[in-house]
């Protein structure tokens, strides 16, 4: 049943019962979820069949060949990549049943309410408070920042402080927050590119029923780590062909504009081309290790390498463009639905790439993680480990 | 000008057999080639550690990995050879493996191995009974070897001079590219023959001896002529450059591991120096570069093994990437060791000297980058 042949048969049955040509997009996606073909490695009844993850490709190929509609993963990346694995690991049966299906079909978009103005790299220091009221529900007050999709989202994964009197990692609790609830206010956050991919989210007296708590009270840090690990995999894990990504854009510019070429730019482009090819092969090797069931620690490094390369290549390209490098396509405040790091013009790419070494863990924090968890180097002496959160300097 | 063609999917992992080979070589080197041993023998004047060479070739058969079984070898290939080179790099082992078992063997394989003048020496090199050296400067790059500096007459007598040949002084067999009466050719010359003089030079890297080779009417046996001779030499340089990346990877790995070990133990300001972010970020950055060095080195070995048309690109990428990583790993290792790293008694200088020499060997990173311009479609101004 859950081998490749079984999955092909099951996919054929789905297509026969719900022909894509005559079935509505959402109806098809719901039927696919109910057939266990959404994410085959998930449990039966929750969109999967307990099958090996690698077999998803078999299903995807059959469905693509049949012209079946997809769930637009670019639009619901936070739900798929972060909320779903966390729900699967820590959710109650009722939560999994309620949330996973509309999450996967895209009926309900998710966003992430983690970072705060006072808690970036030191996420565990966050100050948004959740206080239990007489009914056993929670009342949340605070401010979150760098929230992509908040203006589109129906639900959020939220970490809030439930006990300020214990050390910071221990006083957190993880919630599922209704973005349409009274007291949730979303404001666009304009960034250096001129557009507003992200938002600030203000939470004022927002009520969350205790049934929407994920994991135990005080276990929020533990639960959040599952989310964050999946975030880094999602950012660094895509597979690329040679000259995929930013280097392809720069190479095309070189080929299209012989009049702009100089020897210095040529030397530097070749250096960047080699580094991009090395990064691509590193990712490819990581993928091969994963498919052999031997995950390597290289994953921690992929995001770092990606950020460094994107910044250097896009900087090279602005310089290569000459007079065009002095211009910018459009500073209008826009609200893009997704992000395309290689989109728009050189100036945009250069500016947007600056965020690559900050979002999803700064490069400096990631270097600490590599140094301590992979190389086993000792951590810096800490002054905040055994102090109650309320007594920490802020 | 179009975009470079997509590479075929390479196998970038190690097979179980390759890991077993690695374990055997590593155990041998741990036993016979500890850094202290290499240090002690540095100024002995011996061209290489012959006991270690015997064990490596006789017991493990490492010198015949590139040679088919019917020609007296192990019938393995570049992937396995690369694993041996990783381990030899990790130990900065003073043996003529790259020069004899890779460069000389590949040059002979590029001739016609059905001919006894080729098959005989090939079997000898594969078994490790003798060692060979391809008579080109160690700096020669694939595709840019230049015209031969030796001339051959009709009788096969060779006259000329080749500078900076690695492991020439200890070699029994010299493979000499020469300009013969009918164009370029490749000759075999016994190192002990009349008219052969090797002039040792003091090398930066004491673990890989260098010598100038002076030939004065030395008797040569013709191995290959014309395009075949040229292609044999070029294939040898390409294979050598591609597999050198694995030696550089092994070198760099020793340097990082030793730096991590030392900075965890060394205490200053009341704490291990490895707990300071200023140091640990440097080690973490190096670790990232090593992960990529492994990927590009495996890619080059796999491309050479498969004989894919992408091999020259894979080799150039591997050399352009791995050579600077090895140098930086050795430089960081020295710096993060502080004063002890500057002493003769600490082995890091062996790795620094090898890494820096390797950066010049078989084409500098800059040459390899420039060699990419045409095949990937990024022409110079």
pLDDT tens for B325-360 read 999 999 999 999 999 999 999 999 999 999 999 999
Phi, psi of B247 (to 5 degrees): -60, -45
Q: How far is B66 from chain A (nearest CA, A)?
A: 24
In a domain, B381, yes or no: no
B257 in contact with A, Cβ within 8 Å: no
For residue A378, give the nearest of A387, A386, A364, A368 by alpha carbon.
Answer: A368
Residues A46 and A85 in one domain: no
In a domain, A383, yes or no: no
Q: How far is B243 from chain A (nearest CA, A)?
A: 16
User: What is chain A's length?
Assistant: 394
Average predicted confidence (pLDDT) for chain A? 93
In a domain, B212, yes or no: yes
Which residue in A241, A249, A282 has the most chain B C-beta atoms within 10 A of its own C-beta, making it the best mutation to test that interface? A282
Select the residue of A273, A285, A370 nearest B295 (Cβ to Cβ).
A285
A270 in contact with B, Cβ within 8 Å: yes
CA distance A390 to B6: 56
Taking contacts as CB-CB distances below 8 angstroms, the residues of chain B near A301 are 287-288, 291
CATH number of the domain that residue A247 is part of: 1.20.140
Q: Are B292 and A372 inside 8 Å of each other by CB?
A: no
Residue at which a domain ends, from B227, B252, B282:
B227
B285 in contact with A, Cβ within 8 Å: yes
C-alpha dihedral, B313 to B314 to B317 to B319, nearest 10°:
-110
CATH number of the domain that residue B138 is part of: 2.40.110.10
Residues A208 and A89 in one domain: yes
Residues B55 and B182 in one domain: no
Q: Are B295 and A292 inside 8 Å of each other by CB?
A: no
- Maximum Cα–Cα distance for chain B, whole Å? 75
A371 in contact with B, Cβ within 8 Å: yes
Residues B235 and B330 in one domain: yes
Place of tokens 């023959």: B193
A121 in contact with B, Cβ within 8 Å: no
B190 in contact with A, Cβ within 8 Å: no
Q: Are A368 and B281 inside 8 Å of each other by CB?
A: yes
Q: Which two tokens stand for residue A386?
A: 């055994």
In a domain, A178, yes or no: yes
Select the residue of A261, A282, A378 nearest B291 (Cβ to Cβ).
A282
pLDDT, position A228 = 83
Residues B95 and B221 in one domain: no
In a domain, B6, yes or no: no
- Structural domain including A208 reads 79-93+107-218
Q: How far is B380 from chain A (nearest CA, A)?
A: 6
CA distance A105 to A33: 8
Higher pLDDT, A53 or B328: B328
CA distance A22 to A15: 11
Residues A89 and A201 in one domain: yes
Residue A242, pLDDT > 50, answer yes
Residues B266 and B337 in one domain: yes
Long-range contacts of A71-77 (CB under 8 A, 24+ apart): A71/A29, A71/A38, A71/A104, A71/A105, A71/A106, A72/A106, A74/A338, A75/A106, A75/A109, A75/A152, A75/A337, A75/A338, A76/A103, A76/A106, A76/A109, A76/A110, A77/A234, A77/A338
By CA distance, what is A373's nearest residue in B? B284
**DSSP three-state, residue A207:** strand
Q: Are A368 and B280 inside 8 Å of each other by CB?
A: yes
Q: Are B378 and A278 inside 8 Å of each other by CB?
A: no
Q: Are B277 and A248 inside 8 Å of each other by CB?
A: no
pLDDT, position A68 = 96
Residue A226, pLDDT > 90, answer no
Which residue in A247, A281, A292, A367 has the most chain B C-beta atoms within 10 A of its own C-beta, making it the best mutation to test that interface? A281
Residues A111 and A202 in one domain: yes
In a domain, A281, yes or no: yes
Which residue in B11, B265, B292 has the most chain A C-beta atoms within 10 A of its own C-beta, making it the best mutation to test that interface? B292
pLDDT digits (tens, 9 = 90+) for A150-189: 999 999 999 999 999 999 999 999 999 999 999 999 999 9
B299 in contact with A, Cβ within 8 Å: yes
The count of other CB atoms within 10 Å of the CB of residue A220 is: 27
Look at A170-179, A286-295, A351-360, B106-115 and tell me which has the smallest mean pLDDT: A286-295
pLDDT, position B149 = 96
Residues B118 and B138 in one domain: no
Residues B201 and B270 in one domain: no
CA distance A310 to A348: 12
Q: Among residues A200, A231, A317, A359, which one is catalytic?
A: A231
Residues A192 and A141 in one domain: yes
Q: Which two tokens stand for residue B293?
A: 């060095």
CA distance B45 to B266: 35
pLDDT, position A337 = 78
Q: Which two tokens stand for residue A47?
A: 């969109």
3-state secondary structure A292-359: CCCCCCCHHHHHHHHHHHHHHHHHHHHHHCHHHHHCCCCCCCCCCCCCCCCCCCHHHHHHHHHHHHCC
pLDDT digits (tens, 9 = 90+) for B297-312: 999 999 999 999 999 9
- Measure the CA angle with vertex A304, ends A301 and A310; round to 5°: 135
Taking contacts as CB-CB distances below 8 angstroms, the residues of chain A near B273 are none
Going by the DSSP 8-state scheme, the letter that residue A381 receives in this structure is P
Confidence of residue A295 (pLDDT cuts 50, 70, 90): low
Residues A23 and A86 in one domain: no
Select the residue of A255, A261, A279 nearest B292 (Cβ to Cβ).
A279
- Beta strand ranges found along chain A (DSSP E): 110-113, 129-132, 138-148, 155-161, 172-178, 184-189, 198-208, 213-214
Residue at which a domain ends, from B227, B249, B281:
B227
Q: Are A251 and B377 inside 8 Å of each other by CB?
A: yes
Residues B279 and B366 in one domain: yes
B127 in contact with A, Cβ within 8 Å: no
Task: Flag residues of chain B having pLDDT under 70.
Answer: 1-8
pLDDT, position A120 = 92
Q: Do B184 and B142 form a contact (C-beta atoms < 8 A)?
A: no
Place of tokens 């210095």: A264
Phi, psi of A331 (to 5 degrees): -95, 5
CA B274 and chain centroid, separation: 33
pLDDT, position B3 = 44
Residues A211 and A88 in one domain: yes
Residues B162 and B236 in one domain: no
Residues A54 and A128 in one domain: no
Residue at which a domain ends, from B130, B149, B182:
B130
Residues B241 and B358 in one domain: yes
Higher pLDDT, A228 or A387: A387
Residues B104 and B138 in one domain: no
In a domain, B190, yes or no: yes
B292 in contact with A, Cβ within 8 Å: yes
Chain A stretch 182-241, residues whose beta carbon is closer than 8 A to a beta carbon of chain B: 241
The whole-number average pLDDT for the span A21-35 is 96
A284 in contact with B, Cβ within 8 Å: yes
For residue B39, give the nearest of B355, B365, B349 by alpha carbon.
Answer: B349
In a domain, B302, yes or no: yes
Q: CA B324 → CA A95, A310, B365, distances in Å?
A: 52, 21, 7
Residues A192 and A301 in one domain: no
pLDDT, position B19 = 98
Select the residue of A263, A278, A375 nearest B284 (Cβ to Cβ).
A375
In a domain, B253, yes or no: yes
Residues B143 and B235 in one domain: no
Q: How many domains are there within chain B? A: 3
C-alpha dihedral, B227 to B233 to B235 to B237, nearest 10°:
-150
The whole-number average pLDDT for the span A48-58 is 91
Going by the DSSP 8-state scheme, the letter that residue A117 receives in this structure is T
Q: Are A267 and B291 inside 8 Å of each other by CB?
A: no
In a domain, B8, yes or no: no
In a domain, A356, yes or no: yes
In a domain, A297, yes or no: yes
Q: Are A277 and B317 inside 8 Å of each other by CB?
A: yes
| ipTM associated with this complex | 0.95
pLDDT, position B61 = 97
For residue A127, give the nearest of A108, A142, A106 by alpha carbon.
Answer: A142
Residues B369 and B282 in one domain: yes
Higher pLDDT, A360 or A61: A61
CATH number of the domain that residue B65 is part of: 1.10.540.10
B277 in contact with A, Cβ within 8 Å: yes
- Structural domain including B149 reads 134-227
Residues A131 and A184 in one domain: yes
pLDDT digits (tens, 9 = 90+) for A82-109: 999 999 999 999 999 999 999 999 999 9
Alpha helices, H only, chain B: 16-32, 35-41, 50-54, 78-90, 105-110, 116-127, 226-265, 277-306, 311-337, 348-360, 365-373
Q: How far is B315 from chain A (nearest CA, A)?
A: 11
In a domain, A98, yes or no: no
Confidence of residue A75 (pLDDT cuts 50, 70, 90): confident
- Paired with A189 in beta bridges are A198
> β-strand A172-178 against A213-214: which pairing, if any?
antiparallel
CATH number of the domain that residue A206 is part of: 2.40.110.10
CATH number of the domain that residue B238 is part of: 1.20.140.10
By CA distance, what is B275's nearest residue in A? A378
Q: Is A275 among the catalytic positions?
A: no
A275 in contact with B, Cβ within 8 Å: yes
- Maximum Cα–Cα distance for chain A, whole Å? 73
Phi, psi of A200 (to 5 degrees): -100, 140
Q: How far is A20 from chain B (nearest CA, A)?
A: 33
In a domain, A157, yes or no: yes
Q: How many domains are there within chain A? A: 3
Q: Are A377 and B296 inside 8 Å of each other by CB?
A: no
Residue A22, pLDDT > 90, answer yes
Scored b (16 or more CB within 10 A) or e, B59-82 reads ebbbbbbbbbeebbbbebbbbbbb
Q: How far is A324 from chain B (nearest CA, A)?
A: 19
pLDDT, position B6 = 42
Q: Are A375 and B280 inside 8 Å of each other by CB?
A: yes
C-alpha dihedral, B306 to B309 to B313 to B318, nearest 10°:
10
Q: Which two tokens stand for residue A393?
A: 């300097």
Confidence of residue A53 (pLDDT cuts 50, 70, 90): confident
In a domain, A100, yes or no: no
Taking contacts as CB-CB distances below 8 angstroms, the residues of chain A near B294 are 282, 285
Taking contacts as CB-CB distances below 8 angstroms, the residues of chain B near A275 are 292, 321
Taking contacts as CB-CB distances below 8 angstroms, the residues of chain A near B296 are 277-278, 281
A298 in contact with B, Cβ within 8 Å: yes
CA distance A22 to B80: 56
Taking contacts as CB-CB distances below 8 angstroms, the residues of chain B near A363 are none
Select the residue of B291, B321, B381 nearest A274 (Cβ to Cβ).
B321
In a domain, B3, yes or no: no
């Amino acid at each position: 049943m859950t081998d490749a042949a079984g999955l092909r048969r099951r996919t054929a049955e789905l297509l026969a019962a719900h022909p894509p040509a005559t079935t509505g997009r959402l109806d098809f996606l719901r039927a696919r979820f109910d057939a266990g073909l959404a994410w085959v490695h998930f449990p039966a009844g929750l969109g999967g069949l307990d099958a090996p993850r690698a077999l998803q490709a078999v299903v995807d190929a059959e469905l693509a060949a049949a012209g079946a509609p997809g769930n637009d993963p670019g639009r619901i990346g936070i739900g798929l990549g972060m909320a779903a694995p966390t729900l699967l690991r820590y959710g109650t049966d009722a939560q999994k049943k309620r949330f996973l299906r509309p999450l996967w079909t895209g009926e309900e978009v998710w966003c992430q309410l983690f970072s705060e103005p006072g808690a970036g790299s030191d996420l565990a220091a966050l100050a948004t408070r959740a206080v239990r009221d007489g009914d056993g529900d929670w009342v949340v007050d605070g401010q979150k920042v760098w929230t992509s999709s908040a203006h589109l989202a129906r639900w959020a994964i939220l970490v809030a402080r439930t006990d300020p009197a214990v050390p910071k990692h221990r006083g957190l609790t993880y919630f599922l927050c209704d973005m349409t609830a009274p007291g949730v206010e979303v404001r666009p956050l304009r960034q250096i590119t001129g557009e507003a991919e992200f938002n600030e989210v203000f939470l004022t007296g927002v009520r969350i029923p205790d049934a929407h708590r994920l994991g135990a009270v005080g276990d929020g840090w533990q639960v959040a780590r599952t989310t964050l690990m999946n975030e880094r995999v999602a950012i660094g894990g895509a597979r690329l062909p040679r000259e995929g990504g930013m280097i392809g854009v720069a190479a095309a510019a070189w080929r299209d504009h012989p009049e702009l070429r100089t020897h210095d730019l040529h030397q530097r482009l070749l250096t960047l081309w080699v580094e991009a090819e090395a990064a691509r092969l590193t990712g490819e090797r990581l993928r091969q290790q994963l498919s052999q069931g031997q995950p390597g620690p290289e994953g921690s490094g992929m995001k770092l390498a990606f950020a460094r390369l994107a910044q250097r290549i896009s900087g090279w390209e602005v310089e290569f463009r000459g007079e065009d490098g002095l211009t910018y396509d459009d500073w209008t405040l826009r609200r893009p639905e997704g992000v395309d790091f290689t989109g728009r013009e050189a100036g945009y790419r250069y500016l947007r790439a600056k965020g690559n070494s900050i979002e999803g863990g700064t490069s400096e924090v990631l270097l600490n993680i590599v140094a301590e968890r992979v190389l086993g180097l000792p951590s810096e002496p800490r002054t905040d480990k055994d102090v109650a959160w309320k007594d920490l300097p802020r | 000008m179009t975009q470079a063609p997509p590479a075929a999917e390479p196998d970038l992992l190690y097979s179980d057999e390759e890991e077993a080979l690695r374990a055997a070589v590593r155990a041998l080197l741990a036993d016979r080639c500890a850094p202290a041993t290499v240090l002690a023998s540095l100024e002995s004047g011996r061209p290489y550690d012959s006991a270690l060479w015997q064990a490596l070739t006789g017991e493990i058969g490492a010198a015949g990995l590139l040679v088919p079984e019917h020609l007296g070898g192990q019938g393995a290939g570049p992937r396995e050879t690369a694993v041996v080179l990783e381990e030899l790099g990790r130990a900065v082992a003073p043996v003529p493996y790259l020069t004899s078992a890779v460069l000389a063997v590949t040059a002979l394989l590029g001739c016609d191995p059905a001919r006894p003048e080729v098959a005989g020496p090939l079997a000898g090199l594969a078994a490790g009974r003798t060692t060979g050296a391809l008579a080109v400067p160690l700096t020669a790059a694939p595709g840019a070897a230049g015209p031969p500096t030796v001339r051959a007459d009709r009788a096969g007598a060779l006259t000329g001079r080749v500078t900076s040949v690695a492991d020439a002084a200890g070699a029994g067999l010299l493979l000499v590219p020469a300009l013969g009466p009918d164009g370029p050719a490749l000759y075999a010359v016994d190192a002990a023959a009349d008219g052969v003089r090797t002039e040792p030079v003091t090398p930066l890297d004491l673990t890989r001896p260098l010598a100038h080779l002076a030939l004065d009417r030395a008797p040569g046996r013709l191995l290959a002529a014309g395009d075949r001779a040229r292609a044999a030499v070029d294939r040898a340089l390409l294979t050598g450059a591609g597999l050198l990346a694995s030696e550089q990877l092994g070198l760099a790995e020793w340097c990082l591991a030793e730096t991590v070990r030392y900075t965890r133990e060394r205490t200053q300001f009341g704490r291990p120096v490895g707990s300071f972010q200023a140091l640990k970020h440097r080690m973490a950055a190096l670790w990232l570069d090593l992960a990529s060095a492994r990927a590009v080195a495996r890619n080059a070995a796999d491309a050479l093994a498969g004989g894919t048309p992408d091999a020259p690109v894979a080799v150039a990428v591997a050399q352009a990437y791995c050579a600077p990583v090895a140098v930086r790993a050795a430089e960081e290792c020295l710096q993060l060791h502080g004063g002890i790293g500057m002493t003769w008694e600490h082995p890091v200088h062996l790795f620094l000297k090898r890494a820096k020499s390797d950066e010049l060997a078989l084409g500098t990173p800059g040459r390899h980058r420039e060699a990419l311009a045409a095949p990937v479609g990024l022409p110079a101004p």
